Amino acid sequence: MGKVIMPKTLPEAVSHFRNDANCHAFVKAIRWPDGVVRCPRCGSADVSWLQNARVYKCSAEHDRRKFSLKAGTIFEGSPIGLDKWLTVMWMAINCKNEISSYDVAREIGVTQKTAWFMLQRARLAMQGDGGVASVAGAPVILRPNRARGHEGAARTPRPSPRR
C-alpha cells in the first residue's frame, strides 16, 4: 500500500482520475505515504472512513473530528473535484511549461479562467520539491501570489559546507 500510481500518458491520466477510487488512492498515498491515515487535528491514527459522507472521522474527543481527503492539501476549500485537480497536477508535472490554461480547459472541461487558477496552484505546489508529493503541502495555499512577494525570497539559502 501507499504506492502512487502515475499514469503514463494524458489520456491515461484522464481516464485514471475519472475513477473516484483511483483519486482517493492517489491522494491517500501522497498524504499518508506509510498508508496510515491520521487525523490532521490530533494526529491519531484511530480514524474511520464514512462512505456516505465521504469524509474521515477521528475517534478522539475534540472538535472538527471529520476531515476530508482534501483537508490540508492544495485542493482544500476548492469546489473542483479531485478528478479534475489530479489531471491538472498530472499535466503540470508531466508537461511542465508546454501546457497552457487553454489546453487544461479543453482537457478537463472547465473555463479558461478556472484552468488558469488550477494550473497556477499546481505549479506553485511543485515549486517545493518539484514532485507530486508537494500537493500534500498545506502551506502552498497560503503562499502570496507572485505579484505581492519577491520571487527570490521563497528560496532557502543552502547551508554552508564549511566548518
Among 18, 24, 38, 41, which residue interacts with Zn ion (rule: CB under 5 A)?
A: 41
Q: Is 38 in the site for Zn ion (CB under 5 A)?
A: no
Q: Is 39 in the site for Zn ion (CB under 5 A)?
A: yes
Helix (H) or strand (E) holding 17: helix 10-18
Rounded least distance, CB 71 to Zn ion, Å: 12
Q: Is 57 in the site for Zn ion (CB under 5 A)?
A: no
Among 14, 58, 74, 125, which residue interacts with Zn ion (rule: CB under 5 A)?
A: 58
Among 22, 44, 100, 112, which residue interacts with Zn ion (rule: CB under 5 A)?
A: 44
Rounded to whole angstroms, the Cα distance separating 153 from 41 reads 30
Candidates 21-29, 56-64, 84-92, 126-134 — which segment interacts with Zn ion by CB under 5 A?
A: 56-64
> Helix, strand or coil for residue 88?
helix
Q: Is 71 in the site for Zn ion (CB under 5 A)?
A: no
Rounded to whole angstroms, the Cα distance separating 74 from 140 reads 6
Rounded to whole angstroms, the Cα distance separating 32 from 82 reads 17
Q: Is 36 in the site for Zn ion (CB under 5 A)?
A: no
Residues 6 or more apart in contact with residue 84 via CB below 8 angstroms: 17, 108, 109, 110, 118
CA within 13 Å, CB half, 36: 6
Among 36, 42, 45, 138, which residue interacts with Zn ion (rule: CB under 5 A)?
A: 42
Comparison of 6 and 45: residue with beta carbon closer to Zn ion: 45
Q: Using CB under 5 A, list all residues that contact Zn ion.
A: 39, 41-42, 44, 58, 60
